[in-house]
Amino acid sequence: MEKCITFEANIQAPGAMSDFFTDIAQLSFKTRLEELKDYAHASFDIQNEQLFNLLNEAQGCLYGKKYDFRSIFSYQDFRERLPILQNSDIQPYLRKMAAGKPNILWPGICKHFVKTPKNGGQKSGNNKHFLPVSDQMISENFFQGINDCYALYLKDHPDSRLFSAFSIWLGVDFKEENLGNISSVLRKNMPFILSLLTFPNELPEEESAKEQLTEEIIKKCQQDKISNFQGTPSRMRAVLEKAYAFFDKKSLQEICPSAEVFFHRGMPSVNQMEQGVEGLNYQASYCSAEGFFGIQDQPGEAALLLMLDTSVFYEFIPVNLALEPQNAVPLEEVVLGKDYRMIITTCSGLWRYCSEGPAIRFVSEKPYKFILCNN
């Protein structure tokens, strides 16, 4: 199932290297770009494969035995047998997983749990949910999605020097708690090669440490070449405000002349995608504590490409209907222009889990693309 593309090379400091990494990456991504083309004509087959891969891998787990995954032979079996779950429903399983018990919702011991507030990202005091994130999810979903972002960006910018300088991971603003602490978890588990080209070494999870991190990022911009920034626009603006004052400059290009792109990791609204960031190239992606679900695959287009083969099976329930199993429909039955809540089954052990993120609205079906809705 794993498709995550990696590339190896003798490591040098980014400031001293030629653009060997970018050239190698462009060659490595060619096969993956061909696979992404299959989204336009084989979406149902791809999703069916994801579903049965997930069921087969988890059939020996507590949850797989409870619902007898071994005897599920069709999507209809799956839909009729498994309930729609919300975060409160999985808490008994998560308590066992957090205690170190293996093979509960997914094979093995879960090492990572991310925080996410209730009510679809709206604050509720200190009352937070937790979600499991498996090592497999980190590799096959999150970093596959990030690599796909690079592949699509390099396709549209063949003269890019993306890997000739450092990437700055900004993290998120404290107001964007719907992302939880997934940025920190991903930074700690980054593939080795990407880790060498990424600053900082880790992202703090406490808001009180953000000011110190901002100062460290500014110093890094002063000392080394930077090719890209990754995070949310609000966090980017906060860093830029400090950087302009520190350098007494009025544009990012004056501070980081080699910077070329801002990768938006979060839940981008259409307005954010239209605005871009400080004259940089811009690419949005839908990445939350629940998973990596969509990428802006065409520059300037508001829609996000639904990621079909990254160990996630999707279902959808119209926002005006109750969260009942019979109301869920697979990808092939969605209607363009209609608003849906997303129901996800993932290799972290989220089985028919109702996403707490925004509703989505499909605007294209060959391939499937969507925008995020406010409701």
Q: What angle do CA 171, 374, 182 make, to 5 degrees?
A: 25
- Give the residues across from 295 on adjacent strands: 285, 305
Q: Provide the token pair at 94.
A: 């998560």
Q: Provide the token pair at 9.
A: 């090379």
Q: How far are the Cα atoms of 105, 305, 324 from residue 331, in angstroms, in the given order?
A: 24, 13, 17
Q: What share of the chain is helix, strand, coil (3-state, %, to 5)?
A: 40, 20, 35
Give the whole-number percent of the chain exceeding pLDDT 90.
76
Which of 207, 199, 204, 163 lies closest to 183, judged by CA? 204
CATH, range 20-40+138-295: 3.40.50
Q: Examine the pLDDT at 210 and tell me if it is beyond 90.
A: no
Look at 74-78, 196-200, 268-272 and tell me which has the smallest mean pLDDT. 268-272
Three-class secondary structure of residue 72 per DSSP: coil
Q: Examine the pLDDT at 277 and tell me if it is beyond 90.
A: no
| Region 223-232 average pLDDT | 94
Gap between the Cα atoms of 154 and 162, Å rounded = 8
Q: How far are the Cα atoms of 34, 169, 243, 295 from residue 273, in angstroms, in the given order?
A: 26, 19, 23, 12
CATH 3.40.50 residue spans of the chain: 20-40+138-295
Gap between the Cα atoms of 310 and 271, Å rounded = 27
Which of 81, 266, 249, 49 lies closest to 170, judged by CA? 266
Q: Provide the token pair at 305.
A: 């490409």
The DSSP secondary-structure symbol of 141 reads I
Which of 25, 30, 37 lies closest to 305, judged by CA? 37
Q: Please give the pLDDT value at position 174.
A: 58
Q: How far are the Cα atoms of 19, 186, 276, 299, 305 from residue 157, in angstroms, in the given order?
A: 14, 26, 17, 10, 18
- Report helix angle 210-223 to 233-247, nearest 10: 60
Q: Provide the token pair at 349.
A: 């052990």
194-203 tens-digit pLDDT = 999 999 998 8
Q: Examine the pLDDT at 60 and tell me if it is beyond 70.
A: yes
* Cα radius of gyration (the chain): 20
Consecutive H or E run containing 4? none
Q: Provide the token pair at 238.
A: 């906060």
Which position has the higher pLDDT, 207 or 209? Answer: 209
285-314 tens-digit pLDDT = 999 999 999 999 999 899 999 999 999 999
Gap between the Cα atoms of 160 and 15, Å rounded = 16
